[in-house]
Amino acid sequence: MTNSEAGELTREEMRVAVYCSMSEPTDPGSVTPDTPLDELNLNWSERDLPERVRTKHVHRLHPYLGKFIPQLVEVFLRKYFKPGQTILDPFAGSGTTLVQANELGVNAVGYDVSAFNVLLTRAKTKRYNLRTVRHEILDILERTARMTQAEAAQPLLWAETTADGRHREDAATNYLELWFAPQARTELLTYRSLIEEYEDSDILKVILSRSARSARLTTHFDLDFPKRPQTQPYWCYKHGRECTPTTSAYQFLKRYSLDTLQRLEEFATRQTDATVTIVHGDSRRARIPQVDGVITSPPYVGLIDYHEQHRYAYELLGLTDCSELEIGAARRGNGQKAQIEYQQAIADVFRHACKSISGGGRLIVVAGDKYNLYPEIARMIGVETEAVLHRHVNRRTGRRAGEFFESIFIWRIP
């Protein structure tokens, strides 16, 4: 077992370790290529970087557990990359790197095995005709209201038929019947039945998915990974009172439609002509074009099942499930065998990516390296470690309290 695997830093690793400065927190917009790493203070508190800033414009189109904050991406885009260059994110996730790269005029390419992640990123980064998308978002909302909110409205929309007119059971019926009250299910399926009539169908699917997440029969404080449907009143830790399960989805469709319009319009004022490409594929084997470097936050070993996080979207939208390709999935655990498999898989991704990066290019990798796996990964792929920054991550809520640190590995291709 190496020193790294034992949780100890080697002399070389200690030489490149940089602990974030104790000076004033860094303003991401102030960073330039000449900003010294040891002057960066990335330990932003809630006061320094409130949630409304961390989740600016399209970054909050849909909740996503495990994403890194856009300000962190911005710091390293400004430090190491220029407008017109191309950045790669082989673990695109919710599209944070791709959105921030576009905002700064840097071209971006992303890959992800999750069909939902690709849908979300595509919706975030599309250049919209704002008049058209506004009309479509409000029109489908109004039609859904007309078909589901009147007393005479008929719940006809999930009973699809075959070509000969016979009833065909919806593939997602069992899941939807289990997790949604009848009225909520009717409203969601009504909205879904109309989506393909519109040009901007991806953004409508994101609104539908976000609404479904909130409308499930679960407690208000457990929206990420509810274990079983909640059908009775319960004591709510979030609100400090007794709450009842949600029975309708329309109020969420309306709320998130208006919120989405506001966010798209805000991002449109910052969006540039830089290209954005998002690919549904495994970055260990996908064909990657020539790029200038990498900024990414890989999945952590044994922490999150990313497909399961958005199970409601997969069932409601009929998305392709590629969960067997997830690296570091929670269901595989975090024991020694899982750690070794994780190291090899992450190394395969970066080794493949390095083939598309010229010598001298950098890989910026943000990871919560609890098991100290990344120094060995760097050695496996043959990159030079320029620096390792360590930052304290703000934990906002009591249910996520406790100290948490993440590392930013700055690797250079020889």
**Both structure tokens of 397:** 């809520």
In 3-state terms, what secondary structure has residue 61? coil
Q: What is the mean pLDDT of residues 391-395?
A: 76
pLDDT of residue 2: 38
HSE at residue 277, side-chain half, CA atoms within 13 A, is: 13
pLDDT of residue 381: 97
Q: What is the mean pLDDT of residues 53-82?
A: 94
pLDDT of residue 115: 98
In 3-state terms, what secondary structure has residue 358? strand
Higher pLDDT, 159 or 348: 348
Sheet with 357-367: strands ordered across: 17-19, 384-392, 405-412, 357-367, 291-296, 86-89, 107-112, 276-280
What whole-number distance in Å separates Cα of residue 9 and Cα of residue 390?
13
DSSP bridge pairs for 390: 19, 407
What whole-number distance in Å separates Cα of residue 107 and Cα of residue 187?
39
Residues in Cβ contact with 351 at an 8 Å cutoff, skipping those fewer than 6 apart:
380, 381, 382
Query: Residue 126: is its pLDDT beyond 50?
Result: yes
pLDDT of residue 153: 52
pLDDT of residue 157: 40
Domain ranges of the chain: 11-115+273-412, 130-267
**Both structure tokens of 69:** 């904050």
Of 357, 338, 371, 205, nearest to 296 by C-alpha is 357
What whole-number distance in Å separates Cα of residue 52 and Cα of residue 405?
22
Query: What confidence tens digit (pLDDT) does each residue in 1-10 have?
Result: 334 333 444 5
Question: Hey, what amino acid is at 41?
Answer: N
Higher pLDDT, 235 or 403: 235
- pLDDT band of residue 163 (cuts 50, 70, 90) is very low
Instruction: Please give the CATH topology (third level) of the domain spanning 11-115+273-412.
Output: Rossmann fold (3.40.50)
Q: What is the pTM of this model?
A: 0.88
